[in-house]
Amino acid sequence: MADVATRPLSRTDHTWFAGQVETLLPALYGTAVRLCRDRTDGEDLVAETIAKAWEAFPALRNRDTFRGWMFRILTNTFLSQYRADRARGEVESFDASDDGFSLFERVHQPILLWWGNPEQDFLNGLLRDDLIRAIDELPDRLRTVVVLVDVQALSYREVSTALKIPVGTVRSRLARGRGLLQKALWENARDAGLRAGPQRSGGEDQPDDQR
Amino acid sequence: MTSAEINTCEDALRLLAAHLDRELNDHTHAEVQRHLDACRSCYSRAEFERRLKASIAALGHEPVPPELSGRVESLIRQFTVTADE
């Protein structure tokens, strides 16, 4: 492990940092846009993250952790902004009943299995915009965890460190966030008629027990 | 997470998310996988969750707008180097 904690930054460090940032930029931007739900705010978040990262770079002892470290700075920067937003009156509420929502159970109807594969059909019909809308609808605290685990593939431990919350809390927020996300996908799809729901006139392929 | 015996579909589904997230130890991961390989219903569920997770992961990379690339380049150029080689 290279100890760079106390040494000033050289031109070589600068080049290394610039190269890493260039490689990570699409992932940082993708995460920032999903967290902020806005492209302009996402750009600002990325720029602020990079500036903070350079300032803190001399203290990064193990450069192998650079990726997780960058996402930690990005997330904390987002959350400090989010806390400021909350102080201005944003309210979020969680409904514990969404924890166990399973999209699979809604889509997977044994009666349909003789004629096809409804869950595969559902996934095949899912659009990128459907997923983005469902993620954007999540409350900030849940969206942050879902984005870091499912979009950026951070481990529960890395998310726990980034957000300064216990691993158990990461797990419970993830379960709740995924439940809400699947519920939103189901409701959006049903409203769009992707899977004809019971309220649709063409609902012959779905039993009337979905509501 | 500690090792767990997987005797029922309920056991497997309880650990499915952690299994797909690769958060289980090797023994438990293998136990869940063994159940999935033997149980058509749980396998279908796991495949559905795996594909959904992959679709979400695909959102992780956004094409970077030229304005942001330029902004980042300019920002990094301004960073001060404090040591000679």
Q: State which H helix or E strand residue A76 sits in.
A: helix A66-87
- Tell me what the mean pLDDT of segment A151-176 comes to: 90
A23 — phi, psi (to 5°)? -65, -40
The predicted-structure confidence for B4-62, as pLDDT tens digits, reads as follows 678 899 999 999 999 999 999 999 999 999 999 999 889 989 999 999 999 999 888 78
Under the banding of pLDDT at 50, 70 and 90, the label for residue A150 is very high
Q: Cβ separation of B58 and A7 shorter than 8 Å?
A: no
B80: closest chain A residue by CA? A9
B84 touches chain A (CB under 8 A): yes
CATH code given to domain A13-86: 1.10.1740.10
| Domains of chain B in sequence order | 9-81 (1.10.10)
Inter-chain touch B60–A30, beta carbons under 8 Å: yes
Structure tokens at A85: 């937003």
The answer to whether the CB atoms of B62 and A33 lie below 8 A apart is yes
Q: Which of residues 115-154 of A touch B (CB under 8 A)?
A: 119-120, 123, 126, 128, 131-132, 135, 146, 149-153
Could you tell me which residue, A207 or A29, shows the higher pLDDT?
A29
- Residue ranges of chain A assigned to CATH 1.10.10.10: 120-192
Mean pLDDT rounded to a whole number for chain B = 89
CATH 1.10.1740.10 segments of chain A: 13-86
pLDDT of residue A112: 53
Q: Determine the residue among B47, B64, B78 to mutate to test chain A binding: the one whose Cβ has the most chain A Cβ atoms within 10 Å.
A: B64
The structure's pTM equals 0.76
- Whether B66 contacts chain A with CB within 8 A: no
Taken in order A35, A36, A37, A39, the sign of the CA dihedral is negative
> Measured between CA atoms, how close is A205 to chain B, in angstroms?
20
Query: Phi and psi at residue A205, in whole multiples of 5°?
Result: -100, 15
Options 1.10.10.10, 3.90.25.10, 3.40.50.300, 3.40.50.10420; CATH for A120-192 is: 1.10.10.10
Question: What would the pLDDT profile of A2-49 be if each residue is shown by its tens digit?
Answer: 444 456 788 899 999 999 999 999 999 999 999 998 899 999 999 999
- Give the C-alpha separation, B4 to A5, whole Å: 41
What is the distance in angstroms between the Cα of B5 and the nearest Cα belonging to chain A?
20
B40 touches A: beta carbon within 8 Å:
no
Tokens 């490689």 sit on residue: A23
| Closest partner CB to B83 (pick from A9, A25, A107) | A9
Select from A10, A42, A178 the Cβ nearest to the Cβ of B83: A10
A 77-106 residues inside an 8 A Cβ radius of B: 103-104
What is the C-alpha to C-alpha distance for residues A143 and A91, in angstroms, rounded to an integer? 15
Residue A86 is predicted with a pLDDT of 55
Q: Is the pLDDT of residue A54 over 90?
A: yes
Residue among A64, A49, A80 at smallest CA distance from A4: A64
Q: How far apart are CA A27 and CA A158, in angstroms?
A: 16
